[in-house]
Structure 1
Amino acid sequence: MLQIWALEGIPEIAPGVDLVEVITTAVGATLQDGDILVVTSKIVSKAEGRMIAADDREDAITAETVRIVASRTSPTGHTTRIVENKLGIVSAAAGVDASNTPHGTVLLLPVDPDASARGLAAGLRIVLGVEVGVIVSDTLGRAWREGQTDSAIGAAGVHVFEDLRGGTDAEGRPLIVTMPCVADEIAAAADLVKGKASRRPVAVVRGRADLVGDLDLPGARSIVRDPERDMFRLGADEAYADGYAAGAASVTGR
């Protein structure tokens, strides 16, 4: 049986705060071997001092952007940019967050979310004496679908995929490509109890101890698809413009 609950009593996080100590205090002695903690990236960023002064969020987005995937301006004049950020994650606004931060500041994602998750998992294992996994989550949009859901951007001590390839389905047919991203599924499930405005940034997931393992398991960076296998590297309008420009250049060069 899968159980998920949010931790109560976690205070506002300031730069330099020891998140292992904060989580240990909140969780008490309730954790068991095989539990997975899902920690909102926002408190990790705050603890790591990733808040910067920025009167213009757009400038911060530009600084965190490696590649623009798509850009659209609404009838009201608001521009949304889907970009690849320095972590290789493709998302709106490069993960730059201006919510629940002091006026005139924005919050950047952790420099290395996998390393952040590894530090939390290692510290909690030492202090509490239980083998737990940690997922660092952030809210992302989805191609082809409206709305957002939480996904794993950092992971440690957790198998991020459940590889079912080589097995069979209920009818005995072979599974060729089935490899659920269980880290994303767990992050999304945990968000159902954490919420966006309830000040409960950490949740415990119990019932999937089979996914918990060594701290050196591949992290969430392994979820990001390699560029050479990315069939949707650009937005539709951007891909069309590139193709049109390439065609025009080839005609001109004849």
Structure 2
Amino acid sequence: MGYLICGKCKNYYKLQSEESAKDFVDHCDCGGKLRYVENLDIVDPNWKQAQITKKSTKREILRNKIQSLHSIRNLNLKTRLVQFWNNRRYKIHNAQNWNNNYNTHYNRETGLIGLINSIKNELNFNNIRWPLVIPVTMAITVIFTITQGILTLLIFLLLAAVGYLFNDQLIGTKNAVVTGAISYFLGSLFTGSFLYLIPLTILGAINGAVCGWIGAYIKTKI
């Protein structure tokens, strides 16, 4: 039989009849090297009996390797599945963002093109409500010619009122532009401002566009 002893921690293990020193590990749990002796005469009371770890059998080693390989395969498969799923989610998310951006850009372009086409279609004197435009033009011309100061604010109110009286915002703005351009043109003629005839006419059209659009916008929100 014999003994396995560790001189570092003073532990010893008595081998059983069916055991051999080769069945055990080479080092003690404390890190010291195990040594086999046939006989053990214990003189030092610090020596104590302890359990020594056995070596793994070939069957246990093979089983551990198989379990380790199986765990690695499962881990790799799981990792690959997670990576595949994350990649798919990332691609789908990017595709959705691209579609949203494309649709938003397309809708903006479509809306802008539609607005430009609508403005082009209104570059004429159709849809001009002359029974409304002529009286307002005369009133603005009188205000522009005779009065000055704060009363000129009535011009902006009248132009906004022209736009407000139409259900269609673009047509209302168009009527206000015509009203503003004609009234400023006549006002510059009556005041003798011939040098400013064209600039004042353009200014009247701009004021008509702004005020008429505001009035028509207010109409659509009420």
Please confirm whether the aligned pair reaches a TM-score higher than 0.5, indicating the same fold. no
Structure with bigger helix share is: 2
Larger gyration radius, structure 1 or structure 2? 2
| TM-score normalised by structure 2 residue count | 0.26
Which structure carries more relative contact order (alpha carbon 8 Å, separation 6+)?
A: 1
| TM-score normalised by structure 1 residue count | 0.23
